[in-house]
Amino acid sequence: MIKHIFSILAFMVVSFSVQGTSHFVINADHFASVGFLRPGPIMPLGLAAMILEGFIMSVALSRFMPGGSTVRDGLAVSAAFGLFLASYIVLAEPAKYAVPSISNWMVIEATASCIQFSVFGLLLGFIHRKKAVVA
């Protein structure tokens, strides 16, 4: 259970770091120009999503590799879920909403998602890694 808790915490830290930096620092002007966004996010909903997403990826990796995993396994699981989640954010959202620039939206969201799920994948694999057997 402790691996799941650490995985959830890792996902929350990575998500806050990457997405927060993207939304509020690097791409603040871009997101300010999007008319349908709230001026301030509803944090409990975002936290709930991060907890659920981190838990799902942690459980998926532990089921996929029950004896422990490698960093590569963590990257694979995180990449699979990242591609699934990012496909909606990168492709469907600009198709549904009147974003100022579809190409900018896609580049910004794809870049942030790639960084977020790559960094988390490394941490997920490390957290769930196989323990070395001491002879």
Domain boundaries, the chain: 2-127
Could you tell me how many residues make up the chain?
A: 135
Tokens of 3: 């691996």
User: Residue 120 — pLDDT band, cuts 50, 70, 90?
Assistant: very high
Q: Does the pLDDT value for residue 36 go beyond 90?
A: no
pLDDT at residue 132 in the model: 60
What is the average per-residue pLDDT within 92-107? Answer: 90
What is the average per-residue pLDDT within 78-96? Answer: 93
Phi, psi dihedrals of residue 129, rounded to the nearest 5°: -60, 155
What is the average per-residue pLDDT within 25-37? Answer: 78
The per-residue pLDDT of the chain, averaged, comes to 89
**Rounded CA gap, 103 and 7, in Å?**
32
